[in-house]
Structure 1
């Protein structure tokens, strides 16, 4: 009965504590409404966006066979192409797809030959393009301005210049390029400092079914005349991890398009998992190959370059965290510091403008909300502990003194404080034939009359009462002269029944009422 009461107390205290937490004021909604929540995909886009750049290249080569050059007027064949890249080191190192910088038969040479074959096929529809390509690749000469020199190539890297400013265009040189058959990755270098950079993920961080975002500039983008140079974002999943010939690749169902080659494919944490590569040969479904970032790491290590964020990137991400949390004033301050050091950090300028609008409309979220909630939690915990302590104390008082454990002495009777109980001595039994010792008073002188002492009946002598369980007891309940009422009495502590002559309980030692 009492145990159920204690449990009820615990339940009531717990419910009350949870009610306190549930009714605590929510300080995250201090302003009049909140802006729409940013999705995980949008957060990933915001993390990688500053590092993404637009790449444009020009190719110039003389094409011909043993009979002369293709156009017969000694003029080079010229091509312009576009790709996407992303900064991997603030000192101006840009990663892209290998075929965007490779001058060999898997890159620029094939592109130039194909353009010539297509032009010939337009003039003569009877030409088999595939056969003509095989013949041209095997026999034609493709060279630069000087006989036997490589194809002439010029590469430019462009990034958005910020609101109202034209894109910043920088010349780039090729540090190293690996063709498709060797990983399809390239590293470019531009002469710039404090460029917004990105993070790379390890191969162990990529799982089949993982949600990803592929970023790049489609070929239809308005080139570097566009002010913002805003890329496209295609979300999808990693469909498979496989090997194409001898090269490991990831397969994704993100809908990539020409021009997005070389752009990053990132996880929801914003780290780059791989580089947009190409459409699988003969594939009719919406699948594309992604070159794993491990190949880029190998190329960086080979050239002594470390992929890392710059100090401004760390500040930018801190500003984003404040912006998402509704701490707009703090976010504005962080973005201001970035722009003071790098005025062309386009996304810092954009988010500063967004934070300024949000602060005017919604106000800052109170920074004290977290500490106040903590005090509510701590207060509820203290009250629960206090209630538990009171319940335990009440339970102990209700149960009384603890009984001795097995083998221990039984508890001493708790005699009332008023008066002392009459002394009692157990009957002493003597061996047969042995006279019992007597404590007779001194003998009177001869001739003096002596009183004969009255010996009480054995039935009137008190007997030791054996305790329950058969254990020997050193004490026994004392009996008082029989009053003759015949009324049963009960122990006020344990409830044991006793005769009307017993003053103390033989079970627990308490006074019998």
Structure 2
């Protein structure tokens, strides 16, 4: 028997790519990777909120501390008109006469220091025009009193011509009135015959100097601030006539005081004064009945322009009120404190009340003819800077500038007065600025707590991230 050949057993084929069997392998992973930590959004929100609160608290503290030192804005002073309400009684205290910091107070405070009381004293003899014989053997002396205002640092003053340079007819009339009253006191003329005596002898007499044909002598004096009549010594300042225009061509005069560095007022040649507009007129007045010892003080009054008129070649404004018989030569000012015109007598009125204003343009023309210029001095500029600081609440600057103005121009008593008020207001502000300490302590404590809380939150956040 034949034996068949031996063949090896056939083995099943395995894919070439299959990995070798790993007995430790498992269908799922036994160790899972840990998930990333959740973001601490709440912690970040808390930190951001804490930072905002801290910033707000710090800002509030800074604002509270600095709010008391902020410079106030300058109040606007319009040039339209003053309020229509009347002014209180006479007295040159602008801070008491007007609403605080109003345009009336500010304009009066600016211009009033330049106001001058003028007294012109004339001495001569009343003579018969035909025979030249004196009517009275003794000289006749009479005074004219009015207002004026300083326009240059050299002491030039604008005033009324009829006051300091009256016409020959006016001086005769005044001299005749003086003689008539002497005759009444002597019992040779009845009181009711005074006017007729003047009228009868006006064209028959002349008023001359010590010799026939010579001019009567005259002396002039000016007083700043309050004044007294018949005063020839200090504080009265001697003056002399520089230039004058008669009534028919302006009735304005320029005199020069024998003193410099007096307060100066600005003229507004371009001022537009219209019917119905308001002006503040200022001139000297008195309530005393004894002419020889009368005391005079500056008086302001708010007036309304009622119309325009002409006196010869000169134009003028009519106003509805006045501040008394001695206010001619005073000024009418606008809300900026500049002179819009000079107060003068209304010759068309029976009482010749001081109810016209001569425009500033004519005043400037007279200054040009005399070769002088309306300019402020260093003390005037310091005074205005001081007033500007005063009315805008910058008391420290006001004290400094007003002290400078008062030192350089001692006649400016308002500079001294406003300086004292500024000092008092500054002291009051310093006292009131001593703020209570509890807001600082409270805000500081809150800020400190917030800072500590912020640091703690940041530390916690960093630890959790580790």
TM-score (structure 1 length as normaliser): 0.58
| 8 A contact 1:173–1:189 mirrored in 2 | yes
Larger-gyration structure (1/2): 1
Please show how residues 215-230 of structure 1 align to structure 2 within 5 Å. 215-220=282-287, 230=297
| 8 A contact 2:240–2:257 mirrored in 1 | yes
- Against the structure 1 CA distance between its residues 135 and 181, is the aligned structure 2 distance closer, same or farther, given a 3 Å change threshold? farther
Q: 1:167: Cα distance to partner?
A: 6.5
| 8 A contact 2:157–2:254 mirrored in 1 | yes
The alignment status of 1:79 with 2:142, answered yes or no, reads yes
| 8 A contact 1:155–1:171 mirrored in 2 | yes
- Against the structure 1 CA distance between its residues 158 and 211, is the aligned structure 2 distance closer, same or farther, given a 3 Å change threshold? same
Partner of 1:343: 410
376, 379, 387: which is aligned to 1:320?
387
Looking at structure 2, the residues matched to 212 and 42 of structure 1 have their Cα atoms a distance apart, in angstroms, of 13
Looking at structure 1, the residues matched to 168 and 145 of structure 2 have their Cα atoms a distance apart, in angstroms, of 18
Runs of at least 5 residues in structure 2 that lack an aligned partner in the other structure? 1-62, 72-94, 228-232, 434-466
What is the SS of the residue equivalent to 1:209?
Answer: coil
Q: 1:338: Cα distance to partner?
A: 2.1
Partner of 1:89: 152
Show CA shifts across 1:125-164 (max 9, x none): 49765554344332202101232111211101111499xx
Show CA shifts across 1:168-211 (max 9, x none): 32100000122222211010012222211011122552222221
Show CA shifts across 1:439-468 (max 9, x none): xxxxxxxxxxxxxxxxxxxxxxxxxxxxxx
Q: 1:103: Cα distance to partner?
A: 3.8
Q: Which of 1 and 2 has higher RCO (CA within 8 Å, sep 6+)?
A: 2
| 8 A contact 1:84–1:262 mirrored in 2 | yes
Give the CA RMSD over aligned residues.
3.4
How many residues are matched?
334
Partner of 1:255: 322
Partner of 1:197: 264
The alignment status of 1:138 with 2:200, answered yes or no, reads no
Looking at structure 1, the residues matched to 353 and 167 of structure 2 have their Cα atoms a distance apart, in angstroms, of 28
- Against the structure 1 CA distance between its residues 246 and 161, is the aligned structure 2 distance closer, same or farther, given a 3 Å change threshold? closer
TM-score (structure 2 length as normaliser): 0.64
- Against the structure 1 CA distance between its residues 186 and 106, is the aligned structure 2 distance closer, same or farther, given a 3 Å change threshold? farther
Looking at structure 1, the residues matched to 308 and 430 of structure 2 have their Cα atoms a distance apart, in angstroms, of 47
- Against the structure 1 CA distance between its residues 55 and 282, is the aligned structure 2 distance closer, same or farther, given a 3 Å change threshold? closer
Partner of 1:147: 212
What is the SS of the residue equivalent to 1:124?
Answer: coil
Partner of 1:362: 429
| 8 A contact 2:240–2:256 mirrored in 1 | yes
| 8 A contact 2:386–2:398 mirrored in 1 | yes
Please show how residues 102-141 of structure 1 align to structure 2 within 5 Å. 102-105=165-168, 107-117=170-180, 119-120=182-183, 123-125=188-190, 132-141=197-206
- Against the structure 1 CA distance between its residues 199 and 109, is the aligned structure 2 distance closer, same or farther, given a 3 Å change threshold? farther
What is the SS of the residue equivalent to 1:96?
Answer: strand
Please show how residues 103-502 of structure 1 align to structure 2 within 5 Å. 103-105=166-168, 107-117=170-180, 119-120=182-183, 123-125=188-190, 132-160=197-225, 168-202=235-269, 204-220=271-287, 230-283=297-350, 288-363=355-430
- Against the structure 1 CA distance between its residues 282 and 224, is the aligned structure 2 distance closer, same or farther, given a 3 Å change threshold? closer
Show CA shifts across 1:76-106 (max 9, x none): 1111232111001111100101111114235
| 8 A contact 1:239–1:251 mirrored in 2 | yes
Looking at structure 1, the residues matched to 334 and 219 of structure 2 have their Cα atoms a distance apart, in angstroms, of 32
Show CA shifts across 1:376-395 (max 9, x none): xxxxxxxxxxxxxxxxxxxx
What is the SS of the residue equivalent to 2:151?
Answer: strand
| 8 A contact 1:267–1:273 mirrored in 2 | yes
- Against the structure 1 CA distance between its residues 318 and 154, is the aligned structure 2 distance closer, same or farther, given a 3 Å change threshold? same
| 8 A contact 1:50–1:196 mirrored in 2 | yes
Show CA shifts across 1:402-456 (max 9, x none): xxxxxxxxxxxxxxxxxxxxxxxxxxxxxxxxxxxxxxxxxxxxxxxxxxxxxxx
Q: 1:316: Cα distance to partner?
A: 0.5
